[in-house]
């Protein structure tokens, strides 16, 4: 089995459908995002359950928002897994399946400072 690594996943929302109407609270977003938000939250909860087949170790996860914090414009995750596990994680998300995210990047990440820091020799 391949070694588990840290990955940063950055997902930018498709805004072509316009904002949700009425706006969601406490944060709104695109009509696509808000329309499937409950399914996304349920899936993300399942990925945090060690007994779930969807489980993945999340270092951090959450929405990217506008500067005023009121409008979600994407999602960001730092997770630990193999490349295959990480790709399955985001490709099984309802946001991915519904086309909420217009673009996704998934890059290996080396933490050199902070809680998950790895010794420089591992770089």
| DSSP notation for 82-119 | -HHHHHHHHHTSHHHHTT-EEEEEEEEE---SSTT---
Instruction: Burial-class residue 121 by CB neighbours within 10 Å (0-12, 13-18, 19+).
Output: exposed
Segment 91-100, tens digit of pLDDT: 999 999 999 9
Helical H segments across 11-68, by residue range: 31-47
Give the pLDDT confidence of 102-122 residue by residue, as tens digits: 999 999 998 887 766 555 544
> What is the structure's pLDDT at 26?
81
State whether CATH 3.30.70.20 applies to domain 5-122.
no
| All structural domains of the chain with their residue ranges | 5-122
Q: What is the pLDDT of residue 112?
A: 81
Q: In the structure, what pLDDT confidence band is assigned to residue 7 with cuts at 50, 70 and 90? A: very high
Q: pLDDT tens digit string along 66-78? A: 999 899 999 999 9
The angle subtended at Cα 59 by Cα 53 and Cα 61, nearest 5°, is: 85
Summarised one tens digit per residue, pLDDT across range 12-61 is 999 999 888 888 888 899 999 999 999 999 999 999 999 999 999 999 99
């Amino acid at each position: 089995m391949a070694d588990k690594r840290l990955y940063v996943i950055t997902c930018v929302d498709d805004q072509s459908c316009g904002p949700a109407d009425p706006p969601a609270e406490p944060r709104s977003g695109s009509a696509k995002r808000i329309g499937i938000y409950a399914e996304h939250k349920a899936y993300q909860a399942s990925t945090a359950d060690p007994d779930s087949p969807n489980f993945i170790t999340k270092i951090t996860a959450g929405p990217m928002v506008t500067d005023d914090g009121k409008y979600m414009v994407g999602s960001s995750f730092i997770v630990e897994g193999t490349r295959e596990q990480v790709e399955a994680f985001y490709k099984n998300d309802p946001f991915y399946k519904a086309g909420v995210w217009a673009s996704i990047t998934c890059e290996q990440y080396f933490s050199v400072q902070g809680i998950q820091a790895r010794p420089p020799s591992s770089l």
